[in-house]
Every structure is written in C-alpha cells, then in structure tokens.
Amino acid sequence: MSRLRIVATVVALAVAGVLAVILPTSPASAAACATPWSSSQVYTGGMIASYNSHNWQAKWWTQNETPGNAAVWADQGTCTGGGNPTPTPSPTGPTDSCLFPNWVAGRSYVTGDIVRYTNGRNYRATHDNPGYDPTISTWYWAPYTCTGPTPTATPTPTPTGPAGAFVVTEAQFNQMFPSRNSFYTYNGLVAALRAYPAFANTGSDTVKKQEAAAFLANVNHETGGLVYIVEQNTANYPHYCDATQPYGCPAGQAAYYGRGPIQLSWNFNYKAAGDALGIDLLRNPNLVQTDASIAWQTGIWYWMTQNGPGTMTAHNAMVNGAGFGETIRSINGALECNGGNPAQVQSRINAYTRFAGILGVTPGNNLSC
C-alpha cells in the first residue's frame, strides 16, 4: 500500500472517531403504554396493562392486585404515551384540613386513602379494598385523626342496600342457632350480603325464605350449629395444598384447612374466593377465622358461584326449583348423595325443614339427593 493511501485511511478513521464523539447515539424509543391497569378488570396470564409509566404482564389470573406491589405482575419496562400516573401518597400524619371525601360502599380504595364515614369519623385504608365498611372490615381500615376544620354538613346516611331487607330477622337467627359461637354474628352475616345482592333476594318471598333456610341449614351442618370456626381434624391440615397450582401455597403447606360457615378449604378455593371478593385470602387465609364478615362472604361466595360436585350452584338450585337436595349435591354430593351417607343427608334435611318452619314457609319438593 502506498504511503498516500495509508495517510488517507488514518485521516478517515480519525474523522470518524471525532464524529462518534460529537454525535451521540440516539437512545432506543420506549414502548408505547398499553391500556391502563384497572382494579376491577380480570387479567389472565400473558395480558399486559400499563401502570406508573411501565408496562406490566400478568403471570396468572389476577384482579385488584396493583402492579409493582404484587408478584403476579412482571415489569416489562418503561413506556410512553399513557398509563396511570404515579399516585400521590395520602398524608400519614395530622394535616391542616379534615375535609376528606365521604366513604362510598363499593368504590375501590387503595392503601393510604382517607375517607369520612357516615358516623362523622375519618378512616385511613390500611390495605387496598373494593369499598368495605370501615367499621366492619377493620383489617382494611383504621381510625384516622387529623387537625383543622371539619365538614358541618349532615353525614350521608348509611346505605342499607339489599342487606336491609334480609328475610331472616336477628331473633329468627338466634332461634336457629341458640348455641352458636359468638364469632358468627348476625351483623357480620348482614354485612356480607352486600357482596352478592341476589342471595335470598331473588324470586317470590317464599323462594327468598326457602333459599335463606337452605343456606343456613347447610351451614348448620358444616359447623355443628355455628359452633366450629375451623376444621376440627387437625391431621387434615397439611393435605389442602395443591402444589401444582402456579401460585403455590404462600401462607404455608398447612394453612388452607377448613374455615368459616362452609368450611372453605384448599389453596385454590382460597385464591378463587379472595379474587372474587377482592381480598388476598391466598396469603391471608386466617382472615376467614378472624373477620366475621369475611367468613360469611366466603360462604355466600361458594353458595352463589360454585357447582362443587353438582351440576348447578346452590343458589340456582333454590331459585330455579331444583330443590334443597341439589344444594347438598353442590356442597358435598360426592360423599353424601346417591346413598353415600344418608344419615348426613337427613341431618341437613332436618335442619332445613326446621328453619323453613321458623321462617313460615313450606320446604318444597326434592329434599334429598
């Protein structure tokens, strides 16, 4: 190679190096933000939502679990063009104003939100929740004290909703369960009805009372007359963890034993019930044995949404005329129906006919399974 070509090459390389220093490399553009995450939407594995200027991908089924605060979401990196803004934390100490918004039943709240309840007091959300009553669901709310001016308007009346028309009075409830455990409160039951307004509130007055009697009769059988809060056979406790589920058993191998009025058991049932109710029961199964409203809600959840070993939900069995026998099949038919354990079936029937009598209705047909 000639000396002239060598010099020319060296000069070209030098110029290229200078340009590389002068002209910065353009950064790669961030991905566009997906549809913003919504606490009320159900997401399944692989779905993507944006939150706090990041895209997040769901690893498995989820609802009301905030991206960045729950293991179900995988961070896909920053994004542009939308997404939820970073939330401004609510004040954690006294402020110069107590003009907080009124609490609204059924409205979603996140940790740190402060509301004014119908009793005129303020409450701060200690956990995300879909509008639970601050005076009942004390795991989700704590009293909040502040300084400054307070509203002078008359507080909004407490909404009664469908629970105010429950077909079983407190006196009738006490008559049905004279020896019940104090944990199973009538008020807890009434509060739980808000989660499923159609429960004992569908069809004629007779059908409503028959459904209430049927539910309470099965509850009576499962808990020994509302005496037992948890499953009595502790040897079974380690057997309710289905490790094949993608979410596993984060509360522990032996944490998913029977609890509550329908004796909710298995990690997948705690997961499903919690997802439906907006409560993290997979990680906090003990809530079913410490919060009366949540306990009742899990029982009503199963009654309203689960077929179990049957072909229909217990709710549909009663409102569509299939009869009390089909509610037994939906709850424990694999072990009791078709001659499996006639004594247990008869025990449920006896309670149902007694409770129907207390409510002043006939029990109807198809009592056995």
E strand intervals along the chain: 31-32, 48-51, 54-58, 73-80, 114-116, 122-125, 141-144
Q: Give the span between the Cα atoms of 227 and 241, in whole angstroms.
A: 25
E strand intervals along 148-271: none
Q: Give the span between the Cα atoms of 114 and 122, in whole angstroms.
A: 7
Buried b (16+ CB within 10 A) or exposed e, 193-225: bbbbeebbbeeeeebbbbbbbbbbbbbbbbbeb
Residues 73, 270, 301, 170: is their CA dihedral positive or negative?
negative
222 has catalytic annotation: yes
- Amino acid, res. 25: T
Annotated catalytic residue within 65, 222, 326, 336? 222
Tally of CB atoms within 10 A around 140: 24
Among 135, 196, 115, which Cα is nearest to 161's? Answer: 196
Cβ 200 vs Cβ 352: under 8 Å: no
In the three-class reduction of DSSP (H, G, I as helix; E, B as strand; rest coil), residue 295 is classed as helix
- The H or E element containing residue 97 is none
Cβ 67 vs Cβ 73: under 8 Å: yes
The catalytic residue positions are 222
